[in-house]
Structure 1
Amino acid sequence: MVHETLRITQAQVVCLQETKLQQIDSALASFLGAYRFDKFFYKPARGTNGGILMLWKDSFVELQNCKIGRYSVSADATIRHCATSFKLTTVYGPSHAAEKEIFMRHIRNLKPADDTKWLLLGDFNLMYEARDKNNNNLNLRLIRQFRNTINRCELKEIHLQNRKYTWSNERRYPTLVRLDRVFCNQSWGLHFENHALHALSSSHSDHCPLLLYKQEGPRRPTPFRFENI
């Protein structure tokens, strides 16, 4: 499923969450990326839980100064054709309620200096609005805390254009939730204002991949395709 998605989207940067892998070498990273990427960073899984893999095409973007956090992988990204730089962070949030406040504190600690462009994405395993779930089984305290975290980090969510929810428990009467998101700060949003976010097919997974890309049109010769799986 991942290989087919990468073939179709032609993404230049890919972030995979919940790899469940404690070690990833260059051969395995190349395989997981469908042999389309030159470089990678990864966060090991804890046992068989979690794990993050960030893959990229070195001809398109330079990623350096990687920092591995308890729930995140961050790097300084520079797009080669325009020399634009920003902080890129991908996260995998804990599913256990006892860790969620620690995770939100972790996000707040990741906030860069005000003059730094920041793109934050991943599977947060949290909601910040009641409408992000298709039933009323809600933890309002965590919803408020996540909303407060977003506000304190001065982030805005990039609108997902074609889908309301990103995860399903795949039962006959499914619970549907929006757990996967892409956020940016004002500086990133102003510089990359022509970008759009779309959900891709979820027929082979309980999560749907998200594709962030630069919309084609006048004065937009080089599409930026960034995939979160």
Structure 2
Amino acid sequence: MRTLFWNIRGFGQDGRRRQLIEYMRNKRIDIVTIQETMRTEFSISKLEHLSSDLFAWHWLPSSGSTGHSGGILLGVKDATFEVGSMDRGGFFVSMEIFERALNFKWEVIAVFGRADHRRSEAFLAELRRKVAAAQLQVVVGGDFNLIRSEEDKNNNLVNFPRMQMFNDCIADMGLRELDRVGAKFTWTNRQADPTRSVLDRVLWLRGGVRHAMPPIDPSRPSTPGNFCAKRSRQFMKGWGANVGRDIRERKKALLEAIQSLDLCTDAMGLSADEWMLRYDLEDQLTVIYTDEEAY
């Protein structure tokens, strides 16, 4: 069973849908939760195009005068789950699901906390009420837009009372955080000297959920800094030759270069030029996905 939590920052953004389709197919996703869709409505036909498998869908419309703020989409694979009741609030959508293979029933709650921290207290209060009312084991995941410790941010601009409020809420609900692999931070503001934070996380309640979640491999390359520098140089040296390759190979090369830079970021940091290179690689990948989406 595989679950995707992703802040897509605009379901209608160029290439985003194509990237989501490809990821769901390649990783064989069973549960998909998308935050910040910036959509007030979804057509069933467009949702059906996201996967060759049948999914049950539930969503929270985006808000604001133009619908360009927030929004959550939650889907579960019909072949894996039976869907029970659904719920949604101002900051979450949820489904009670029965996982056939494990004969196990639980509730998945997808959340999106707004970047406007004037609403953080209301977000956490609603989440506390939702978890307290749950009759099943729960998994809560998404973009909380809150940090838990100083290590969750790469600078000292930390609001300690807000951080304590978040940790107190998690403790009050009895939630535990699932270990995450990959890059140390989950968000950046895409600057030459970026602010980076851990804003996305998955929390679970009650031991039974541990059996429903897939194992998480915490391993990493033993020498990430050397790996990064070598792979990045190889990529840039050979990029001119790569241009004529098959699109699939180009996407693979771009993703590998981005991942190697991410490893370097955690190991020794990146220069301003290396950050701009990373953003450029992301933009090149977006262009490919956008072209594929057009055709």
Question: Which TM-score band applies after superposition, normalised by the shorter structure?
Answer: 0.7 to 0.9
TM-score (norm 2): 0.64
Over 3 Å counting, the alpha-carbon distance change for 1:48 and 1:110 in structure 2 is same
Over 3 Å counting, the alpha-carbon distance change for 1:114 and 1:66 in structure 2 is closer
Partner SS state of residue 111, structure 1: helix
User: Which is bigger in relative contact order (C-alpha 8 A, separation at least 6)?
Assistant: 1
Partner SS state of residue 39, structure 2: coil
Whether contact under 8 Å (2:106, 2:209) holds in the other structure is no
For 1:210, the equivalent position in structure 2 comes to: none
Over 3 Å counting, the alpha-carbon distance change for 1:204 and 1:18 in structure 2 is farther
Over 3 Å counting, the alpha-carbon distance change for 1:49 and 1:72 in structure 2 is same
The answer to whether residue 55 in structure 2 is matched with residue 38 in structure 1 is: yes
Q: How does 1:22-37 map to 2 (within 5 A)?
A: 22-31=40-49, 33-37=50-54
TM-score (norm 1): 0.81
CA distance in 2 between counterparts of 1:157 and 1:191 reads 15
CA distance in 1 between counterparts of 2:51 and 2:78 reads 15
What amino acid maps onto 2:155 in structure 1?
N
- Alpha-carbon offset, residue 34 of structure 1: 3.8
Over 3 Å counting, the alpha-carbon distance change for 1:164 and 1:23 in structure 2 is same
Selected match of 1:153 from 169, 173, 191: 173
- Alpha-carbon offset, residue 190 of structure 1: 4.1
What amino acid maps onto 2:60 in structure 1?
K
Over 3 Å counting, the alpha-carbon distance change for 1:58 and 1:125 in structure 2 is same
For 2:24, the equivalent position in structure 1 comes to: 6
Identity %: 26
CA distance in 1 between counterparts of 2:62 and 2:154 reads 30
CA distance in 2 between counterparts of 1:194 and 1:13 reads 12
Over 3 Å counting, the alpha-carbon distance change for 1:35 and 1:48 in structure 2 is farther
For 2:75, the equivalent position in structure 1 comes to: 55
Q: How many residues align?
A: 203
More helix, by proportion: 2
What amino acid maps onto 1:134 in structure 2?
N
CA offsets 1:68-99 (integer angstroms, 9 cap, x no match): 11000011111012220111100011110110
What amino acid maps onto 1:161 in structure 2?
V
CA distance in 1 between counterparts of 2:141 and 2:217 reads 12
- Tell me how large the CA RMSD over aligned residues is: 2.3
What amino acid maps onto 1:43 in structure 2?
L
What amino acid maps onto 2:78 in structure 1?
D
Whether contact under 8 Å (1:115, 1:187) holds in the other structure is no
Runs of 4+ with >2 A deviation: 33-38, 112-116, 186-195, 200-205
Whether contact under 8 Å (1:116, 1:187) holds in the other structure is no
The answer to whether residue 179 in structure 2 is matched with residue 162 in structure 1 is: no
More strand, by proportion: 1
Selected match of 2:202 from 182, 187, 193: 182
The worse-fitting range, judged by mean Cα deviation, of 13-22 and 33-42 is: 33-42
Whether contact under 8 Å (1:158, 1:197) holds in the other structure is no
Partner SS state of residue 5, structure 1: helix
The worse-fitting range, judged by mean Cα deviation, of 109-118 and 157-166 is: 109-118
Partner SS state of residue 146, structure 1: helix
Please tell me whether Structure 1 or Structure 2 has the larger radius of gyration of its CA atoms.
2
CA distance in 2 between counterparts of 1:204 and 1:124 reads 24
Q: How does 1:48-87 map to 2 (within 5 A)?
A: 48-87=68-107
Whether contact under 8 Å (2:104, 2:212) holds in the other structure is no
- Alpha-carbon offset, residue 52 of structure 1: 0.7
Selected match of 1:191 from 208, 211, 227: 211
Partner SS state of residue 170, structure 2: helix
For 2:250, the equivalent position in structure 1 comes to: none
